[in-house]
Chain A
Amino acid sequence: MDSAFVIEKFILVAVIFGISLVIAMYSTYAERKVAAYLQDRLGPDRAGPFGILQPLADGVKMFMKEEIIPTTSNRFLFVAGPGLALLCACIGTAVIPWGSPIEIGGKTIPLQVSDINVGVLYIFGVVSLGVYGVMIGGWASNNKYSLLSAIRAASQNISYEIAMGLSIIALLLMTNTLSLKEIVDQQHGWRWNVLYQPLGFLIFMVCSFAETNRAPFDLPECETELIGGYHTEYSSMKLGFYLFAEYINMFVSSAVMAALYWGGYNYPGMDYVAAHLGPTWAPLIGTGVFFLKIVLFIFFFMWVRWTIPRFRYDQLMNLGWKGLIPLAIANIIITGVVIAIIEKF
């Protein structure tokens, strides 16, 4: 392995990690601003102009707070829980293609950390692993409410994973590949997958909401029933890790949705731009478009959170098992039949 390759990947990983953290930081600010706008309030406006330094103030508060570890059944797991949650949230970014290969100084650099040929399944695995942070933290807190929340998180995660997997299968029938890079490249220009798979996208999106524990599926942290849910016993930066993990999860699932269904870094007229701006600037614009889509999805996550009330537990299970799974299976059958007919004629 030559060192240039290692350095290149290292820089890419560092940049993506930094961007994830900054976006997660400012998502907390955006969330409060969006909430304020939807509820006809002002939101945070004291720290800096328009309150844009609020995330920094919050970060300092988190670091300075007293560290409290309750007399738990296991101290190690109590600390490991939030760490695991944040780790699982971050490693999902490794296979997302952030842009088409960029040319800098005669060298072509792919804007993707790793193009493994099972990329979609990797994302899926990371998502299914994410629940361990919540479960371990909730159990190690030695608190009834935390435990109930951990159990809720587990059952919710398992239930919606099935529908999510089935909705991806219909997409894979069309793309014939599991590599995220190839899936994005197939959506060149305007041929976005959402135009061919609207139902699949809808199911995938609902499941993403459930997998990231966002409203209306935030039952694990339902404060009216469970105090604070799985992070009731947590304080200071360990609580910060949990909150951060949620926002990074939101960022990653927005990126996955944008890449799988909304064309990733493709946009109409990209060939014209590529011909006129050359191989250095055109990919950067594509990456910008990709991030614009991601930000729109993050906004959508927040919009839904402040519009729709939380589901009841039985409603959640009914929607998952009796609504989404049969719909996803019907979607697979329809997609399969249509593809068979197209190939026949």
Chain B
Amino acid sequence: MSTQVFYFVATLSIIFSLMVIFAKNPIHSVLYLILTFFTFTVHYVLLNAQFLAVVNFIVYMGAIMVLFLFVLMLLNLNKDTEPSKSPLIKIVGVIAGCCLVVTLIGSLKSASINSPLVLKNQGLGLVENLGKELFGPFLLPFELSSLLLLAAMVGAVLLSKRDEVEA
């Protein structure tokens, strides 16, 4: 049952992620990205990581994607304003894509499907256990990353303030 759901949702994830790239309209692209994130939420639920699932739901689907949509709606992107790409960039893109495909095929060959990942602690994704892990053994990395986020936030505010003074 669970495996079937996984394969169904995984197929949806791949289809929606491809649609993100193939959609002509940037707003449709973002909407497909939201659907992709929704399938990720389902994956987290399947892994019994409820906290991650709901945080992914709130932060990525509910906040970051709203901001993406917000910015795109303000920018009013359409075919006329799309910058034309030079042939050089296109050639570089093709080469980079081919490299990626080679890497992916190489890694797929070495990956074996006979060793499914089994969680040591099934309840790790629940809020209580996750909190104990984060504030116990992983306290220092946790605090450091929050400091990093704070620095980024202050930096963003400073940058926008400086613009205001110059204008």
Q: Are A and B associated in one complex?
A: yes
Residues of A within 8 A of B (CB): 73-74, 77, 116-118, 121-122, 124-125, 127-129, 131-132, 135-136, 139, 147, 150-151, 154-155, 157-158, 161, 178
A154 touching B69 by the CB < 8 A rule? Answer: yes
Q: Once bound together, how far apart are the Cα atoms of A117 and B126, in whole Å? A: 8
A157 touching B31 by the CB < 8 A rule? Answer: no
| A128 contact from B28, B50, B63, B74, Cβ within 8 A | B63
Residues of B within 8 A of A (CB): 25, 27-28, 31, 34, 50-51, 54-55, 57-58, 61-63, 66-67, 69-70, 73-74, 126-127
A135 touching B66 by the CB < 8 A rule? Answer: yes
A126 CB → nearest B CB, Å:
9
Residues from chain A with a CB closer than 8 A to the CB of B66 are 128, 131-132, 135, 154, 157-158
Q: Once bound together, how far apart are the Cα atoms of A154 and B72, in whole Å? A: 12
Q: Once bound together, how far apart are the Cα atoms of A283 and B27, in whole Å? A: 48
With CB as the reference atom, state the residue of chain B lying closest to A172: B127
B54 touching A125 by the CB < 8 A rule? Answer: yes
B69 touching A135 by the CB < 8 A rule? Answer: yes
A18 CB → nearest B CB, Å:
27
Q: What are 6 A-B interface contacts by the 8 Å CB criterion?
A: A125-B61, A129-B62, A131-B66, A132-B69, A154-B66, A154-B70
B67 touching A132 by the CB < 8 A rule? Answer: no
| B73 contact from A125, A151, A178, Cβ within 8 A | A151
Residues from chain B with a CB closer than 8 A to the CB of A73 are 25
B5 CB → nearest A CB, Å:
14
With CB as the reference atom, state the residue of chain B lying closest to A73: B25
Q: Once bound together, how far apart are the Cα atoms of A125 and B66, in whole Å? A: 13
B64 CB → nearest A CB, Å:
10
A117 touching B50 by the CB < 8 A rule? Answer: yes
With CB as the reference atom, state the residue of chain A lying closest to B38: A129
Residues from chain B with a CB closer than 8 A to the CB of A151 are 70, 73-74
Known contacts A132-B34, A158-B63, A158-B67: does B73 contact A121 (CB below 8 Å)? Answer: no
A121 touching B27 by the CB < 8 A rule? Answer: no
A129 touching B61 by the CB < 8 A rule? Answer: yes
Residues from chain A with a CB closer than 8 A to the CB of B57 are 125, 129
With CB as the reference atom, state the residue of chain A lying closest to B67: A158
B127 touching A117 by the CB < 8 A rule? Answer: yes
Residues from chain B with a CB closer than 8 A to the CB of A128 are 58, 61-63, 66
Known contacts A116-B50, A135-B69: does B74 contact A161 (CB below 8 Å)? Answer: no
A176 CB → nearest B CB, Å:
9
A118 touching B54 by the CB < 8 A rule? Answer: yes
Q: Which 7 A-B pairs have the closest CB atoms?
A: A128-B62, A125-B57, A121-B54, A154-B70, A125-B58, A118-B54, A118-B50
Residues from chain A with a CB closer than 8 A to the CB of B25 are 73-74
Q: Once bound together, how far apart are the Cα atoms of A132 and B34, in whole Å? A: 10
B62 touching A125 by the CB < 8 A rule? Answer: yes
A139 touching B70 by the CB < 8 A rule? Answer: no
Residues from chain A with a CB closer than 8 A to the CB of B74 are 151
Q: Once bound together, how far apart are the Cα atoms of A63 and B25, in whole Å? A: 33
